[in-house]
Amino acid sequence: MSVAAVLTAAGSGSRLGHSLPKALVPLGGQSLVVHAARNLLAARAAGDDRVRVLVVTAPAFHLAAIERELAPLSDQVALLVVAGGATRQASVAAGLAALVADPRAEGVDVVLVHDAARPLAPPSLVARVVEAVREGHPAVVPGLPVTDTIKRVAPHRGVHVEPVLETVPRAELRAVQTPQGFTRELLLRAHSAGAAHAHDEALAASDDAGLVERLGEPVWVVAGDERAAKITTARDLLIAALPTESAE
């Protein structure tokens, strides 16, 4: 049995303010998608349990460019690049469909879902998620404790002030990251059940664990990592380029 990963890289990156799709934006001499893929492939869970099939969802007009970026990794992993969808959920579903159809993925029993927008998620985090799934937790997400005070409000359209309904106890809150890990059967079942809303941005799930929760199945959290921060804006990209004290 083995591990596969779906790496979502189909976003336009408009908020990043770059002419390239987000996945192709450079960071320290390599594109975001290459950073993310290399970190996925570098992970070694217990017993050398590692990613052996990698499906990357890319912008439809940039498939060839993404394939060229990832070509040097093709000797390390069974690699597929497919067009993503209108939403993140639709992109993951497209990746899963390609995975199921590929005979090289026949023995896959654990599937990771990761975002190229989190290119520096370290191999140790990837391994931690895989190991938790292997230990009997069918849906696992990494998360960091929330340090800000969080208030729930009643939104009012067109109004600049909003009434506070309550202060949410932050000890119970986690800021969720990727990669998220699942048994293959559960992830496919969750996407099948949520397929009706996959292409509607207003209704699509923001993460795959949310689809699992809609099934009424439990989701488990492991310790996240600050290096797995999401790159959304130009400021995020500058912060990601700063040197860190620890490295894998």
Domains of the chain (ranges; CATH) run: 2-140+175-240 (3.90.550.10)
CA dist 177 and 223 (Å) reads 10
User: 227 with 244: CB under 8 angstroms?
Assistant: yes
Q: What is the pLDDT of residue 247?
A: 46
CA dist 152 and 73 (Å) reads 45
CA dist 176 and 246 (Å) reads 22
Q: What is the pLDDT of residue 24?
A: 95
* Amino acid present at 75: D
Q: What is the full per-residue pLDDT of the chain (248 aa) written as tens digits?
A: 799 999 999 988 788 888 889 999 999 999 999 999 999 999 999 889 999 999 999 999 999 999 999 999 999 999 999 999 999 999 999 999 999 999 999 999 999 999 999 999 999 999 999 999 999 999 999 999 999 999 999 987 777 888 899 999 999 999 999 999 999 999 999 999 999 999 998 899 999 999 999 999 999 999 999 999 999 999 999 999 998 765 45
Q: What is the pLDDT of residue 50?
A: 95
CA dist 26 and 152 (Å) reads 37
User: The pTM is what?
Assistant: 0.94
Element (H, E) at 56: strand 51-58
